[in-house]
């Protein structure tokens, strides 16, 4: 059993510990609203970038987190480098998706639970079968 240690860390100490643990060199928040991106990036010493200027960031990123409920793909999947990890929230409807076919067809897909994609959007099941 792992012991529980009650440690009271400041936001700065937590941020520094996470950056060191995961060896995060650069954190960039990308979005359509630059003010919202800057506000989200500030507490984690991140940068803000417009989604219109993100192609170079996507190509060089080791980890891409898509935490949106966008009804359409967020970026061209061919921009993602081989070996990168892409985490996506996904969608509960069949007409919305964060990731395009280009990325899905060249990816190893992992889901949090097998029953969930079987019950929800059929696209993930199609990608799992055809990939």
pLDDT digits (tens, 9 = 90+) for 101-117: 899 888 887 666 666 55
Contact of 89 with 98, CB cutoff 8 Å: yes
Q: Which residues contact 131 (CB under 8 A, 6 or more apart)?
A: 104, 105, 107, 108, 109
pTM value? 0.72
Percent of the chain with pLDDT over 90: 16
Higher per-residue pLDDT: 106 or 128: 106
In the chain, the N- to C-terminal Cα span, in Å, equals 39
> What are the start-end ranges of the H helices in the chain?
11-22, 34-41, 55-60, 101-105, 115-119, 122-130
What letter does residue 84 receive in the DSSP assignment? -
pLDDT in tens, 58-84: 999 998 988 887 888 999 999 999 999
Of 116, 29, 94, 34, which is closest to residue 68 (Cα–Cα)? 29
């Amino acid at each position: 059993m792992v012991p529980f240690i009650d440690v009271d860390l400041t936001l700065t100490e937590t941020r520094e510990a996470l950056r060191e643990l995961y060896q995060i060199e650069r954190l960039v928040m990308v979005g359509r609203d630059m003010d919202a991106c800057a506000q989200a990036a500030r507490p984690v010493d991140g940068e803000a970038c417009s989604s219109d200027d993100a192609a170079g960031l996507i190509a060089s990123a080791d980890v891409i987190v898509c935490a949106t409920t966008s009804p359409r793909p967020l970026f061209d999947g061919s921009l993602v480098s081989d070996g990168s990890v892409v985490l996506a929230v996904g969608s509960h409807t069949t007409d919305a998706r964060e990731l395009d076919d280009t990325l899905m067809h060249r990816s190893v897909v992992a889901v949090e639970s097998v029953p969930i994609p079987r019950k929800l959007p059929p696209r993930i099941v199609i990608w799992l079968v055809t990939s």
